[in-house]
Amino acid sequence: MPFRRLVPLALALTCALAAPARAQEENPTVIVTPSGESSRYKAAVQRFAGDAELALKLREAIGAGLDFSSLFQVVSPQAFLGSDVSGPLDGGPPIACPDWRQIGADALVEGAVALRGDNLAVEFRVWDVARCQKLERKRFSGKRGDLAFLGHKVADGVVGAFTGKPGVSATEVAFISDRTGKREVFVMDVVDGRPKQATRNATINAFPDWSPDGGAIVYTSYRERKRPYLFVLTRGQQSPGRVFKNLNPGWQIFRGVFDPGGTKLALVISVNGQSEIFTIGRNGSGLQRLTNAPTLELSPSFSPDGSQIAFVSDRSGGPQLYVMNADGSGVRRLTYNGNYNTGPAWSPDGRWIAYEARAGGQFDIWLIDPGGAENVPLVTNPSNDEGASWSPDGRKLVFASKRRGAGDLFVIDVDGTNLRPITSGGRANTSPSWGPYDRDLR
Amino acid sequence: MVGGADELDGIDRSRFRAMVLGSAVAHVLLLAFLFFGPALSPPPPGIPGVVVVDLVTMAPGLSPAPAAAPKPVAPKPAPPKPKPKPVPQAKPIPPPEPVAPPKPPPPVVNKTVLPKEAMAKPKPVPKAAPKPEPKQVDYDDLMKDLREETGEERPEAVQQAASGAAASTSTLPTGGLGGTVKVSPEVMAWIRDTRIHVRKNWVKAPGFQRLQTQLSVNLDAAGNVVGEPRVIQRSGNPYYDDSVVRAIQKASPLPKPPRAGEWPFVFPSEES
């Protein structure tokens, strides 16, 4: 009977059609969570086309910048299967992605370097080797002496191409050091570790803070009348010196910090012996008093959108962190752990406020979220760790520590890994302020 | 009814049989369609089921871990105590220099920061003596294993699977609409090994927070990734999505899968 045979056939056909789809549907989900260990992309950096000596130095600087990012590890050129030297960026043969994959590279960096007179130009391109895709192509220029700096910018560009935020190896840190015998302001590239002295007044200087455009540093100095006033350093031009001279000369200005827009500053001023927080326009106009309490109000730090200010007050007994709106309203207490918390620094992404917490007679660095729900230690060590300042990408912090003696600056990733010193051999290096991105990377 | 019997009498028997059979086939086909129909339709994007299961498996009281946060064991701040103790110490003075607290111990070697030891995750509670009977492993167990896995202590179920001592099944979420599927210990073991393998190839930059990407990965019988993984659910951050696609591609070949085909992978940015 034909129909009798048809029944099982139809059933079998139906099942056969449905089975693969059902099997596919039914595969369980593989959930992959991050390991908590830091892992790095592997980058193959070719020797850029152009002068070989320059190209080798440039490659070294790119490698140092990538290493500083904590996100990339450089593949030794000896492992390369293909050419060690970049071909032309335009019209050259296509890169052999399988060869780069085979040596484990995730990124290939190629480019060219050219020196004309004293002017240096660097152009690079970065590939995502796994997908054989060009991700980024950029050109930077500078003077011959900027070779390492340009290499760091290339590295930062590579980091940006893979993660969406450039690296920070081509940024600077301002800090106070007594290596000359007096506390002066110094500035150094965060990677190369050679501090340049920025003030020479042989008095006491403190609390440098970068303007958001990187063009100025405001700092406190006792250089006039042995009283604290604010001064400004600018790049490559006559620095304006003391600022806000229009304020009551009886007031002492202990500290100034720029707001994220760079148009105003928050000041800590001693009024009749009582320290209070004010804001003022960069040009000295619009002074506004934000706090008015018979207690100490210190250490203002703006939120990244400029709408709030974290600060320290001892209105509840010991110093604790508080947050207020940028007009002084809506004050709320943020920290409750321990009895001595100071030095707030709001992260550029707004996620955290870093601060110093005294525990057992030493200062550690903690992170608290602005809502106060999460509060975690970042740096704990049986010595003092203090003065945290965020990198412009929010992935790292610089802080001062006495763990090696007099005091050095250290950098650490926000997840608590990759601790490294960036100063050495000095005496006290304190009060770091991490500068903004170079303008080419903003 | 009676009328029907009368009608039968007038119909050719073989034609009648054919009609009955035809009708039976049609019913079978209809039933099969109703039964398998959902499986034939493509899975919708967005897979709430995975998220739901994740929540279920979180340890009670755990808040979502901060993405970039140090791996802490932070003495969580006791929920706001309304009042701090008044401190008898002298008020801090607006410092011309950073405040120097009464000073500490001699310089010490970098006993660094956030060491895993200090911030260690809760130690897995040592299990009581192995149970003689096969254990029913479910998703909770798997997630617990995930959290402990760096110790490479093989989960009971996997040990059993490896030794062939038991053949219990497990329930895991599928890539479908919050569905679950029973899987064998062998599949559980493959998932665990695959996760470890892929994780080693994943670079997650600090700063990616509260993101989740879902991929569909086509694997051949040897574990090779065929073609580019498809992003089924985007995280909202293309760089994060790219990082997980890279992780899969770089991890190829994966451990040999129980069967070739499409496998769903989910990459949350935080450990749950």
Do A290 and A279 form a contact (C-beta atoms < 8 A)? yes
| B chain contacts of residue A1, beta-carbon cutoff 8 Å | 17, 21
* SS3 track for A258-307: ECCCCCEEEEEEEECCEEEEEEEECCCCCCEECCCCCCCEEEEEECCCCC
DSSP A381-418: -SS-EEEEEE-TTSSEEEEEE-TTSS-EEEEEETTS--
B65 to chain A: nearest residue by CA?
Answer: A374
A121, burial (CB in 10 Å: exposed 0-12, middle 13-18, buried 19+): middle
Write the residue in B86, B110, B113 that is nearest to A317 by C-beta: B86
- Please name the member of A27, A33, A394 whose beta carbon is closest to the beta carbon of B146: A33
B189-to-A35, A364, B158 alpha-carbon distances in Å: 18, 42, 6
> Going residue by residue through chain A (442 aa), what tens digit of pLDDT does each one get?
444 555 455 544 444 444 444 444 478 999 999 876 768 999 999 999 999 999 999 999 999 999 999 999 999 999 999 889 998 888 877 889 999 999 999 999 999 999 999 999 999 999 999 889 999 999 999 999 999 999 999 999 999 999 999 999 999 999 999 988 899 999 999 998 789 999 999 899 999 999 999 999 999 999 888 889 999 999 877 777 889 988 988 899 999 999 999 999 999 999 988 899 999 999 999 999 999 989 999 999 999 999 999 999 999 999 999 999 999 999 999 999 999 999 999 999 999 999 999 988 889 999 999 999 999 999 998 889 999 999 999 999 999 998 888 899 999 999 898 999 999 866 799 999 999 998 776 6
Residues of A with Cβ-Cβ distance to B100 under 8 angstroms: 384
The token pair that represents A187 in the structure block: 């500035």
- Is B207 near chain A, with CB under 8 Å? yes
Residue B272 corresponds to which tokens in the numbers above? Answer: 């749950």
Q: How far apart are the first and last CA of chain A?
A: 80
- Kindly report the number of other CB atoms within 10 A of residue A273's CB atom: 7
Minimal Cβ distance to B198: which of A32, A162, A384: A32
The confidence score (pLDDT) of residue A440 equals 72
> What is the reported pLDDT for A140?
95
Partner A contacted by B4 (CB < 8 A): no
Who among A4, A20, A386 is closest to B21 (CB)?
A: A4
Q: Are B95 and A394 in contact (CB < 8 Å)? A: no
Are the Cβ atoms of B81 and A270 closer than 8 angstroms? no
Q: Is A9 on the interface with B (CB under 8 A)?
A: no
Write the pLDDT tens digit of every residue in A303-361. Answer: 999 999 999 999 999 999 999 999 999 999 999 999 999 999 999 999 999 999 998 88
Whether B87 sits inside 8 A of A404 (CB atoms) is: no
Antiparallel, parallel or unpaired: β A420-421 and A408-413: antiparallel
Distance CA A79, CA A58 (A): 19
Chain B interface includes A185 (CB < 8 A)? no
Angle of helix B139-148 relative to helix B48-57, nearest 10 degrees? Answer: 70
Task: Classify the C-alpha dihedral B36-B41-B43-B49 as positive or negative.
Answer: negative
* pLDDT score for B253: 94
**Which one of A17, A33, A322 would you mutate to disrupt binding with B, by most B Cβ within 10 Å of its Cβ?**
A33
Which B-chain residues 103-162 have CB contacts (< 8 A) with chain A?
A: 103-105, 107-114, 118-119, 143, 146, 150
* Residue A71 with chain B: CB contacts under 8 Å: 203, 205
Decide if A395 and B206 are in contact by the 8 Å CB cutoff.
yes
Tell which phi-psi region holds residue A379, choosing left (phi > 0), alpha (psi between -120 and 50) or beta.
beta
B210 touches A: beta carbon within 8 Å: no
Nearest to B141 by CA among B191, B104, B105: B191
**pLDDT of amino acid A190:** 95
Which residue's entry shows tokens 């086909």? B29
Q: At A43, list the tokens.
A: 């980058």
Instruction: Give the residue from B211, B180, B46, B114 showing the smallest Cα distance to A32.
Output: B211
Which two three-digit tokens encode residue B42? 């493509």
Nearest partner of B179 among B139, B147, B236, judged by Cα: B139
Judge: A204–B181 Cβ closer than 8 Å, yes or no.
no
pLDDT score for B47: 33
**Distance (Å, whole) CA B118 – CA B96:** 35
What's residue A312's pLDDT? 97
Phi/psi at A46 (5° precision): -75, 160
Distance from CA of A221 to the nearest CA of B (A): 9
Q: Encode A164-174: b = buried (16+ Cβ within 10 Å), e = exposed.
A: bbbbbbbbbbb
Q: What does the block give as tokens for A284?
A: 């000295």
Tens digit of pLDDT at every position of chain B (272 positions): 333 333 444 445 666 566 667 676 766 676 665 555 444 443 333 333 332 222 322 333 323 333 333 333 333 333 333 333 333 333 333 444 333 333 333 333 333 333 333 333 333 333 333 333 333 334 444 445 544 443 333 334 433 433 333 345 566 666 554 566 777 888 999 999 999 999 999 988 877 888 999 999 999 999 999 998 999 999 999 999 999 999 999 999 999 999 999 999 999 998 76
CB pairs under 8 A between A and B: 321
Contact B21 A7 (CB under 8 A): yes
| Chain centre to alpha carbon of residue A35 | 23
What is the predicted ipTM? 0.78
